Amino acid sequence: MKNRMRNKLPLAAAVALIAGATSSYAAMTITDLNGTAPSSGVFLSYGISSTNTKIENDTTDPDTGNYKARGQTFMTPDTGDAATQWGLTGITLQSHSTVPTPPSNLVIEIWSWGANANSLGDQGSLLGSYTGAFTSIAGGVAANDYVNLDLGATVALDENSNYAFLLRSAEGGPVGNEWTLRIGRGQSSPDDYADGLLFSDEGTTGLNGAAYKVYSGDDLVFYLHGASAIPEPSTALLGGLGALALLRRRRH
């Protein structure tokens, strides 16, 4: 189930697109939305849930290294207007069960992807890494609650293009803390999200060099927040326009 909303990105937020796309240490805010799925400001979503998967920090398990991470590839929709990009500002996920002690610090990475969102051999480059704390959620996360991850930055995503997000516990966090997430299992369902896949990254070095596992037909329940935006002109172009304006003023 896709959800598209043609929101316009305010000028101030659009100016932050370039900085957001390269921000590696932005502070992320984690908020419990309780049992209501988000709708406002969502430009892409998959909301069919039937089972679960989890992330956790488990340094005692030699098979998983330092953490068990989960990722989801996806394809951005067409903006439907003159804009050619989406400004990603946050991601909402659905918790499966009550989580009294989730990972104290959570990391989400945004990656570019190649031509095939259903291939793990097609990953591109890291666009940004964002860290936030669960300590702001008193009493933990209840079963089936929706949890919003506000990136604290705006990441520029081209329309009709493939990307991925990877969710993991911050390294060095409490061992054994975990977060179980809702996923859809669509091998035999027409509601399967065809433009991406769920995968695990169970190594210690992120997407580069980690041990992959593809969950064929499975997808995380996710909601991408943001608005369409026209890419900012380059610095060189802005400088040229400024020089032209100055020349015109001198002539008059």
Which whole-number Å values give the CA distances from 112 to 66, 126, 128, 177, 211, in the listed order?
A: 24, 6, 10, 29, 19
Which whole-number Å values give the CA distances from 20 to 73, 81, 116, 126, 128, in the listed order?
A: 20, 22, 25, 12, 8
Which pLDDT score is estimated for 171? 62
pTM here is 0.77
Residue 226 near residue 211 (C-beta atoms within 8 A): no
Each residue's pLDDT tens digit in the chain (252 positions)? 444 444 444 433 333 343 334 444 568 999 999 999 999 999 999 988 888 887 776 554 444 444 578 889 999 999 999 999 999 999 999 998 887 666 678 889 999 998 888 777 677 889 999 998 877 677 778 889 999 999 999 999 999 999 999 988 776 555 666 788 888 876 555 557 888 888 887 654 445 455 567 776 789 999 999 999 877 665 444 455 455 555 555 555
Which pLDDT score is estimated for 155? 96
Residues, the chain:
252
85, two tokens: 């990009």
Within 13 A of 198's CA, how many CA atoms are on the CB side? 26
Which pLDDT score is estimated for 73? 92
Which pLDDT score is estimated for 24? 46
The domain limits of the chain are 11-251
Alpha carbon distance 142, 35 (integer Å): 9
Which pLDDT score is estimated for 134? 78
CA angle 63, 64, 68 (to 5 degrees): 155
Which pLDDT score is estimated for 249? 54
